[in-house]
Amino acid sequence: MKILIINGPNLNLLGKREPEVYGHQSFDEYFGVLKNDFPGADLAYFQSNHEGAIIDKLHESGFSVDGIVLNAGALTHTSIALGDAVGAIPSPVVEVHISNVYRREAFRHHSFLSAKCVGSIIGLGLEGYRLAVQYLLNHERT
Ligand code: DQA
């Protein structure tokens, strides 16, 4: 099963960026752990700081992969185009946020993605990605 993890803007700085909010681990390090945890899954990772590049990646992969885990960072709260892209593809998308956005500023409380996703995992740290991958593996489309 092929599962793609997509991280949006500023998530390349995980481990360095506001560690009190996002923790001390880089995503590259965490991705290595995830790959070890799911040896049977074909996990791929893409990160971009650019909205269009993320939309292009969703178009490119969203008709072939078995699932997508998407943390769109701040684009979650601003991008109708990203929500439309998620709605346009057949691959199931799970939305992940590392921090509990509902305990933060009000502008983080709205997501243009949630309604287009199969579900959302919010506030459980990097563990959210593992839970999303596990969900997609357990709910393989036939
Ligand atoms: C985030 C939450 C967003 O509000 C923020 O802009 C991010 C990261 C999270 O994973 O908690 O960049 O998506």
* Shortest-distance atom of ligand 1 to CA 74: 6
Return the CATH class of domain 2-64+79-101+114-138.
alpha beta
Q: Give yes or no for residue 26 CB within 6 A of ligand 1.
A: no
Q: What is the pLDDT of residues 11-60, one digit of tens each?
A: 999 999 999 999 999 999 999 999 999 999 999 999 999 999 999 999 99
Domain borders along the chain are 2-64+79-101+114-138
DSSP for 39-88, written as a single string: TTSEEEEEE-S-HHHHHHHHHHHTTTSSEEEEE-GGGGGT-HHHHHHHHH
Predicted structure pTM score: 0.97
pLDDT, greater one: 94 or 141: 94
Q: What is the pLDDT of residues 55-84, one digit of tens each?
A: 999 999 999 999 999 999 999 999 999 999
Query: Which of 11, 76, 120 gets mutated to test ligand 1 (max ligand atoms within 8 A of its CB)?
Result: 76
* Shortest-distance atom of ligand 1 to CA 9: 12
